[in-house]
Amino acid sequence: MTVYEIRIHSRGGQGGVTAARLLAMAALHDGKYATACPFYGAERRGAPVVSFVRIDDYPIRIYSQIREPDLVVVLDASVMETVDVLHGIKKGGRVFINSAHLHEFAGFVTYNVDLTGIALKINLMVAGSPILNTSVLGALAKIGIITAGSAKGIVSADSAKSAIREMFTDERNVSASDAAYMEMSA
């Protein structure tokens, strides 16, 4: 595999930065190399935040923003009102949106899963906000990276669960990941 680049758009407090760290940890569990890099200033809860993840079979020597991602993840669809989340996405790139409603973008494969609904259903919340970072990991484990004619998950479901358990003790986080994996139509 050549380096696979992911840009995650979220709002402060939704777990986008943690989702990037979890995704990188899961990739490491799969025996790959990975980096996770957030980009934000002095924003407060609710402000747009961007995080970046690179995954590769070889050591990654760059730690910076990703300008031309293979995959864009949107944890809050309202971010699209103020941020051009598709800016720079590679031709044939893919978009994942946390939404109960269908979103489609011409020229891009788009995945929609209601991560918020999953978190609310199992009461996975902090300070009144649904936790999205662990459920998105399950969904991303279902999205395949196509290399040499075969598809393989961005990370394995087992590695996703291992990363979640390494960071969190509440098993509802694993349940959220499992639920998103099952709802994901890859």
DSSP string, 66-110: -SS-SEEEES-GGGGGTS-TTTTPPTT-EEEEE-SS---BTTBEE
Task: Return the CA Rg of the chain.
Answer: 15
Tell me the helices (H) and strands (E) count for the chain, helix number first.
Answer: 5, 10
With a cut of 50, which residues of the chain have pLDDT below it? Answer: 146-151, 186
CATH number, residue 112: 3.40.920.10
pLDDT at 151: 47
pLDDT at 128: 84
Residues 6+ apart with CB under 8 A from 82: 48
pLDDT at 59: 95
* Domain enclosing residue 71, as ranges: 4-183
pLDDT at 117: 96
pLDDT at 63: 86
pLDDT at 122: 96
How many domains, the chain? 1
Tell me the two tokens of residue 120: 């609310």
pLDDT at 43: 59
Say how far apart CA 180 and CA 164 lie, in whole Å: 14
